[in-house]
Amino acid sequence: MAQLHEFQAKKILAAQGIEIPRGAVAFSPHEAREIAGSVGGEVVVKAQIHSTSRAAAGGIRFAESAAAAESIAAELLGTKIAGNVCQSVLIDEKATIEREFYLGFIIDSVLKRPTLLFSASGGSGIEDRADSMQKLICSIRAEPTIREIRQFIEEAAGEHRNQMADILLRLYRAAKSCEARTAEINPLAILEDGRSVALDARISVDDYAVFRHEDLGIEMARELGHTPTKLERIAWNIEKDDFRGTFYFVEIEQSKIQHLKSKIGFHGAGGGGSMASLDAAQRNGLAPACYVDTSGNPPASKVYRAARIILSIPGIKGYFLSGSGVASQEQFGLARAVVKAFLEVRPTVPAVLRLGGNGEDIAKEIVERFAGQLPATIEAYRKQDTADFCAARLHHLIGIAESKRTKEKSAPTAAKGDFTPTYEFKTKTGRIAFDYSKLDAKASEAIVESCPQRILALENGLPVLAIEREDAERGKCSECLACEFASLDLGLNAVKIDFPIDGLSPKS
């Protein structure tokens, strides 16, 4: 989900007629002063970060004057609060509250239906008062009627039932207008002058709907809980327009793990299996610096880029790949992608790959065939080897590597020598090049035969595209790396596949 900032959420509510405090967002201390001056009186300065603990972390403060608002904004802007860098502050008029309610909207993931939430006990700590929450399961075809909502909250809202019913209906429409998965007003305050005002709001938009809402300015359709890091932005740019499988990448806050000795890059391959493997890593003394999941049959190009990004994380002592163990996706594609990244980066840290699922024997054999060409130990296992066993094995290898300085071995024979591209074509996200000077008839035939999509053919004894170049670029080349590995298996540096990664150093 893509979480909006409070000021964005309030703008959506206001468009549906829900009253919000007077104020505006500021991106500089000077702007904060001007806004506070125009609002007049005491104001609230609220850091615009994605955290539910803003107040406890000092991200919400009161200012009695415009000058004080400017001073507070200067303190907050650019600082890290609850793991988030504060890049803007919301200046709101201070309200005098008589009573607080909680109003919410969610898409119930079990029932797959929109649901309205209401509690007569709003404000901080609502999570601890879950028993007070009432739910109205709504139709997916028609919005609830005001009568239905009024009956739903009648007892809890008491004398305010008409106001609350009206605002709940408007909240429902606000959520629908931006295709939200969740939307909440907490608190919806009854002020001493009788007005009902949304003092705080949170909205998260469905990932798959983000492209229809460019006006929201969503940078990443991810609910990270912190300001995106450089690597998270690089990873998102790979994922956002490539719908072939999934690549999820999140860095774990360094301050939480930098003191631990066994900091590793974690690479999961399959939702539940990834989570279980992450737990196994932690049970066995490893400290994941990231959580990565490549699943849903992603192309090797996407897995390769994931591996490259993981290997670029500074200070990792090992690399752990493990998934469900019974994945339907072809494990040899996964193996090729990771081995390609390792052959290029040549990390000096050990790696353990648990390649369980379809084609796991071939995958294990690929890893073992190239392991001797890498400067550090890389081991492959299959589904009968548990995630705990594999994690423990990596922990052991890290201990060995730490006890002796690893010397880089010579580069693999196939990677040596000049490469002069004489024939090349574009794929969906990269480019494949051939050096014909390295190929004889037998090698050319082997490379053409390696292509599972049969998009290569022999012409004058050399590999060429058997389809139109435009079709290869549109995706008929699945970017499986088979032709490059066929060349490497022959000990030749005759095929090079380039999958560029914007923003990542070529040496990372």
pLDDT tens per residue, range 327-386: 777 899 999 999 999 999 999 999 999 998 889 999 999 999 999 999 999 999 999 999
Q: Decide if pLDDT at 407 tops 60.
A: no
pLDDT per position as a tens digit, 413-454:
445 568 999 999 999 999 999 999 999 999 999 999 999 999
- Do residues 103 and 184 lie in contact, with contact meaning Cβ atoms separated by under 8 Å? yes
Whether the pLDDT of residue 389 is over 90: the answer is yes
Whether pLDDT at 287 is above 60: yes
Mean pLDDT over each residue of the chain, to the nearest integer? 92
pLDDT for res 36: 97
**Distance of alpha carbon 52 from alpha carbon 209, whole angstroms:** 24
Return the pLDDT at 241.
85
For residues 397 and 264, the answer to whether their CB atoms sit within 8 Å is no
Query: pLDDT tens, 139-166?
Result: 989 999 999 999 999 999 999 999 999 9
What is the per-residue pLDDT across 33-72, written as a single tens digit (0 to 9) for each?
Answer: 999 999 999 999 999 998 878 888 999 999 999 999 999 9
Q: Given the structure tokens 């309610």, which residue do they identify?
A: 101
Burial 282-291 (b: 16+ CB within 10 A, else e): eebbbbbbbb
Give the residue among 281, 338, 286, 347 at the shortest CA–CA distance from 314: 347
The C-alpha atoms of residue 70 and residue 358 are separated, in whole angstroms, by 60
What whole-number distance in Å separates Cα of residue 21 and Cα of residue 163?
A: 17
Q: In 3-state terms, what secondary structure has residue 70? A: helix
Structure tokens at 92: 């709101």
Tell me phi and psi for residue 202, to 5 degrees.
Answer: -135, 135
Long-range CB contact pairs, 162-165, < 8 A, 24+ = 163/190, 163/196, 164/101, 164/103, 164/118, 164/188, 164/196
Model confidence, pTM? 0.79
Q: Tell me the C-alpha to C-alpha distance, in Å, between residue 433 and each of 436, 484, 486, 497.
A: 10, 9, 14, 6
